[in-house]
Chain A
Amino acid sequence: MQNYLEFEKPLAEIEGKAAELRAIASQSEDEMNVEKEAGALDKKAQTILVDLYKNLTPWRKCQVARHPDRPHCKDYIENLFTEYTPLQGDRVFGDDTAVMGGLARFDDQPVVVMGQEKGNDTTSRLHHNFGMARPEGYRKAIRLMDMADRFGLPVVTLVDTPGAFPGRGAEERGQSEAIARSTEKCLQIGVPLVSCIIGEGGSGGAVAFATADRLLMLEHSVYSVISPEGCASILWKDAEKMREAAEALRLTAQDLVKLGVADTVIPEPLGGAQRDREQTFVAVKDAIASSLKELSGKKPKQLIKERRQKFLDIGSKTLA
């Protein structure tokens, strides 16, 4: 069962009809040839799909970035890496299931990989707290980055989070401090740090993972200081103005490259990453591989210096 977004309704109708037609044909005892009709519907659906995705508005991109069928952190780790060995716990308080990470091999090269996992059904979503990390998640990330630094392993982060978890315990255990330290750690390690925003890059919760040498973004991923809904309710005093807010915030991968915040946009299959996972995995893998290649051979000091300079330089580019 495929999930459709609200704006994909016309598409859902046509694709639904085509599927229905084929189902009837396969169940009926007589030889029914519906391929001609179904094929025509497929063609129509394709035209609609191309049309819908030709110029996605920023708000629609947010919806695609949050699509429930979109591949998540776990899927990328399983498909892009081998020998993934999860490592757990922050050694202070507990283990945060919103953040997964550990040792793995990328093209046989040992690396540390980590990211936020949103889950893909009710049970796993609750288990992973919808990808909203608590302080323990950021402290686990700090621990893993420290380890990577000590053993000279590159770090790959996969970012997909609505933001840090707004909870009582999270505040009491120092959510702010944990995020600040994780961002600080990103800027301190002398190993290559490549980050890929695979879905939502939500505010400070994303910064703590995405302060990298190279920031890759999937074509329909977003990275923002606040969710369009949150921004709309504060500045427009109306959460329903999220379309306007999404527009104004300039949160798309394309705009972020212009602003010098992101380095590369990774093209997605037509209709979003969920429509062809294999193709997405290949594209993301290639992009990570080429970023790691660019960074390999650089001395720790040089890496740190260039990474810091990259962030100091942000703000000198405009959209024009």
Chain B
Amino acid sequence: MNWISNYVRPKINSLFSRRETPDNLWTKCDECSTMLFHRELADNLNVCVNCGHHMNITPRERFASLFDGGTFAEFEAKAPIADPLKFRDQKKYPDRLKAAQKKTGEKDAMLLGYGDLGRTKVVMAAQDFGFMGGSMGMAVGNAIIAACEHAVNMKCPLILFSAAGGARMQEGILSLMQMPRTTVALQMLKEKNLPFIVVLTHPTTGGVTASYAMLGDVHIAEPNALIGFAGARVIEQTIREKLPEGFQRAEYLLDHGMLDRVTKRQDMRDELISIVRMLMKLPPAIAADLEPPAKIEDKTKKSEVAKK
């Protein structure tokens, strides 16, 4: 550190900091470190154009890329009691929640949408890893219950995109209780013989994997997604040996019989349409008949988010 970096640089920075352009025009791929231009990356659904690495995608972006025309009706679940345990670690739980809400613009870690997928009505639920690690608390549990109820009412399939580090510790036992709660909701769906398709995205671990993410009729994962119950570090400490390459990755789970398929994000829409229509005993979709999905950046224009 010298006077240039301490004094001059902040001054220069303050002069140039008010730029009109967004500061994240370029994103570095986590895998291959290629610098990716935001438009190119968005066109490719946040998949690295160089190495094919699947980066995080927000639930809204995902829905826009899947529903016909990028249009869906958002619906909300019953809001849970906020901070039931008055939990406080180094920060208060409500403060962590507020920070996550500000960062993502969402109320909690699960977004619900209803609309057409290849001219087939579906309910979709997507977990937001950007919201407190996608963690499963009362809000996520209520969202899954609402998604199942909506699917039952509309007699349509439920497609769920999982992404979470696990249960939300700040809700203590109540977060753990989302394992049985969501299971009850899924049973209502299954009893009506409606398909439940899980798409496991990076990462899906802990109590989320050990409940709804492993109870699908069909399990699809995105390439290289981390999927497991216990964390790799905990396992290494317990068994005192190095874990094999690719352990707990989607392809590894596919080899071990836990998944049906590993599917690239770009192919997900076509594949979901095909599976959903077969399970619903509908005739095959005719590709030319379908409206192409919206590009991510057009989402504000195209998706008319209707609140129920």
Which residues of A are at the interface with B, using a C-beta cutoff of 8 A?
164-168, 170-177, 179-181, 183-184, 186-188, 203-204, 207-208, 211, 223-226, 231, 234-237, 244-245, 248-251, 256, 259, 261, 308, 311-312, 314-316, 318-319
**Choice from B80, B185, B211, B230 contacting A171 with Cβ under 8 Å:** B230
B181 and A311 within 8 A (CB): yes
A308 and B184 within 8 A (CB): yes
**Would you call B292 an interface residue if the criterion is a C-beta within 8 Å of the partner chain's C-beta atoms?**
no
**Choice from A172, A180, A237, A315 contacting B210 with Cβ under 8 Å:** A180
Q: How many residues of B contact A (CB 8 A)?
A: 55
**Would you call B250 an interface residue if the criterion is a C-beta within 8 Å of the partner chain's C-beta atoms?**
no
- Chain A facing B: main interface SS: helix
**Would you call B110 an interface residue if the criterion is a C-beta within 8 Å of the partner chain's C-beta atoms?**
no
Chain A nearest CB: distance from B267 CB in Å?
Answer: 25
**Would you call B303 an interface residue if the criterion is a C-beta within 8 Å of the partner chain's C-beta atoms?**
no
**Would you call B145 an interface residue if the criterion is a C-beta within 8 Å of the partner chain's C-beta atoms?**
yes
A167 and B180 within 8 A (CB): no
A225 and B167 within 8 A (CB): yes
B172 and A244 within 8 A (CB): no
A177, B167: Cα distance in complex, Å: 16
Excluding A225-B171, A319-B84, 20 further A-B contacts by CB distance (< 8 Å) are A164-B230, A166-B230, A167-B238, A174-B258, A175-B210, A176-B214, A176-B228, A183-B183, A184-B215, A207-B176, A207-B179, A211-B180, A223-B176, A224-B173, A225-B172, A225-B175, A244-B89, A259-B173, A259-B174, A311-B177
B173 and A250 within 8 A (CB): yes
Residues of A within 8 A of B84 (CB): 259, 315, 318-319
Residues of B within 8 A of A236 (CB): 89-90
Residues of A within 8 A of B230 (CB): 164, 166-167, 170-171, 175
A179 and B229 within 8 A (CB): yes
A203, B172: Cα distance in complex, Å: 10
**Would you call B154 an interface residue if the criterion is a C-beta within 8 Å of the partner chain's C-beta atoms?**
no
Which residues of B are at the interface with A, using a C-beta cutoff of 8 A?
80-81, 84-90, 138, 141-142, 145, 167, 169-177, 179-181, 183-187, 206-207, 209-215, 228-231, 234-235, 238-239, 241, 243, 247-248, 256-258
**Choice from A165, A176, A248 contacting B213 with Cβ under 8 Å:** A176
Given contacts A184-B215, A248-B88, A250-B85, contact A312 B176 (CB under 8 A): no
B177 and A315 within 8 A (CB): yes
Chain B nearest CB: distance from A303 CB in Å?
Answer: 14
A180, B187: Cα distance in complex, Å: 12
Chain B nearest CB: distance from A218 CB in Å?
Answer: 16
B180 and A183 within 8 A (CB): yes
**Choice from A167, A173, A174 contacting B235 with Cβ under 8 Å:** A167
* B212, closest chain A residue (CB): A180
A166, B80: Cα distance in complex, Å: 32
A248 and B87 within 8 A (CB): yes
**Choice from A188, A226, A231 contacting B187 with Cβ under 8 Å:** A188
A256, B204: Cα distance in complex, Å: 28
* B174, closest chain A residue (CB): A315
B183 and A314 within 8 A (CB): no
B167 and A311 within 8 A (CB): no
A203, B238: Cα distance in complex, Å: 17
A261, B178: Cα distance in complex, Å: 11
28 A-B pairs with C-beta separation under 8 A: A166-B238, A168-B247, A171-B230, A171-B247, A176-B229, A180-B210, A180-B211, A183-B211, A184-B187, A188-B187, A204-B229, A207-B207, A208-B210, A211-B179, A224-B173, A225-B175, A225-B207, A226-B169, A248-B87, A259-B173, A259-B174, A261-B177, A308-B187, A312-B145, A314-B181, A315-B181, A318-B81, A318-B84
